[in-house]
Structure 1
Amino acid sequence: MAHCSRTVADIKRSIRSGQYLNSKGTTEFYDCWAQTYEWDMMRIGYRPAHLAVDFLNANFCGRREEVQVLDVACGSGLVAKLMSELGFRHFVGVDGSKGMLDQAAGTGLYQDLRLALLGTEGLPAETGVFDVVILVSALSPGFAPVSVVRELCHASKPGGFICIAKGSYPGAEEEIYKKDLERELQLMEDEGLWSLVGIKPTDRYMENAFVTTEADGKDEQEERYIRGNVYLYKKSISTSI
């Protein structure tokens, strides 16, 4: 396959080139990247989908084959692939990239795929329908705004799970975004919209695309990886949203 000649350095340069584009540029970037996306991310130690699915599965009780899953920012379908291995069968996917949705369609796992750019368009999902709503790695400046988390909660059934994986990327804008996100997550809990099931931190969310040289010392070695968290919430039974 042609993309097998791409090195880790090539992949990291590609990721850096796509950071902080406007929404139109971001969708075009992912349209072009779609065919090699999963292979490329595997090469740089991309773990968020595995971390999120594992944490969700460890806390989920119920008949997985009956569960309705909303996979937000589904990309090429990696989350659905991992969840299907655990017995989940019913998936609706949402993504802002037509190229990514074409890849997701090729998995044969989704009953429906919907094109929508998070934050620019409303989340195309029915209210209170899904047993599980999962979003991996889309909460970041230039991608999905913090306000999207309320839409995730809105789509979940009362008592349903909302799983969010978020990397701690470098940069001042990212630091502001992270604080805003954590403030909103806590505010929604204070409002009684959902309750926190748990937070799973990791020191190796994925390799840091902004590190361009081989790490030699201990401190540099740590910088090779982006840290991150998986957040798992349960929607309140009594909430009306």
Structure 2
Amino acid sequence: MSDCSRTIADVKTLLQSTWVDRQEPQERRQLYDAWADTYEQDHTLMNYRAPQLAVDFLCEHFSGNPEEALVLDVACGSGWVAKKMAERGFKNFEGVDGSQAMLDLAAKTGLYKDLRLALLGPDPLPAQTGFFDVVMIVGALVAGSAPFSVVRELCIAAKPGGFIYMSRSNHRAALDTKYKEHLERELQLMEEEGLWTPVGIKQVDRYVEWPHQDTNGAEVPQEELVIGATLYLYKKSIR
């Protein structure tokens, strides 16, 4: 299939294949390696607003100097989040992703000082402890992708007083509903343990907003047009 013939249905099929529970790590890596060439094009087709929403929410609360801030971009993909952050003055990025093809795209942005290959869950997060002013993970906290337990590693990588931003789409599947319950319990436990404090938790209606018509002219069902999301921002405790 040529790129120009790709439809919303094709992109949805790709997305759904990333939500498979108990997917073997190598299968997950191969899926994203194969998707890399059209990843941003496909996400543009579905009006994927996650990178912009992430940067806007962070910048509402970040009071430091963005030019000096050290940013860890986890599950960085093609570097889309870093590109949006660079527009707001951030300059110092390190990235981690499970797909080498995605890391190759991220490298082409010229924004990252370092890029590391690691599958979240099977591999430990390859990041220096207590080093980053901002840690970002956008879109990977869903069933079939990063395990919810990775949030502790994000917190460990942040400096005391540093920000940890996380976002996830609110899929309707029962599997993902259960994942969200586990994730939010873990976030609460970490707060009770004194590891961090919540800065803000925000619900958004239009994380993804599909066009009303597919590229082949077919109508997209009304109930499938919009996918919401939850945005989380925490600040690591100073102790």
TM-score by length of 1: 0.91
- Whether contact under 8 Å (1:73, 1:96) holds in the other structure is yes
Cα distance per residue 1:143-188 (max 9 Å; x no partner): 1111100000000000000000111112111111100001011111
Q: Which of 64, 69, 82 matches 1:80?
A: 82
Structure 2 counterparts to residues 127-166 of structure 1, below 5 A: 127-166=129-168
In the alignment, what sits opposite 1:214? 219
Q: Distance in 2 between matches of 1:14 and 1:228?
A: 19
Q: Distance in 1 between matches of 2:56 and 2:158?
A: 19
In percent, how many aligned pairs have the same letter?
Answer: 57
- Whether contact under 8 Å (2:18, 2:144) holds in the other structure is no
Cα distance per residue 1:181-214 (max 9 Å; x no partner): 0101111111111010001211111147xxx973
In the alignment, what sits opposite 1:68? 70
In the alignment, what sits opposite 2:32? 30
Q: Distance in 2 between matches of 1:19 and 1:187?
A: 25
- Whether contact under 8 Å (1:94, 1:115) holds in the other structure is yes
**Displacement, 1:107?**
0.4
In the alignment, what sits opposite 1:188? 190
Q: Distance in 1 between matches of 2:25 and 2:175?
A: 17
Q: Distance in 2 between matches of 1:121 and 1:74?
A: 16
- Whether contact under 8 Å (2:18, 2:145) holds in the other structure is no
In the alignment, what sits opposite 2:95? 93
Q: Give yes or no for the alignment of 1:16 onto 2:26.
A: no
Segments of 4+ moved more than 6 angstroms: none
Aligned length in residues: 230
Cα distance per residue 1:56-101 (max 9 Å; x no partner): 0111101110000000000000000000010000000000000100
In the alignment, what sits opposite 2:5? 5
Q: Distance in 2 between matches of 1:54 and 1:22?
A: 34
Q: Distance in 1 between matches of 2:141 and 2:62?
A: 23
The letter of the residue matching 1:231 is: Y
**Displacement, 1:222?**
4.5
Give structure 2 stretches of 5+ with no counterpart. Answer: none
Alpha-carbon RMSD across the aligned residues, in angstroms, is: 1.6
Give structure 1 stretches of 5+ with no counterpart. Answer: none
Q: Give yes or no for the alignment of 1:235 onto 2:226.
A: no
Greater Cα offset, 47-56 or 73-82: 47-56
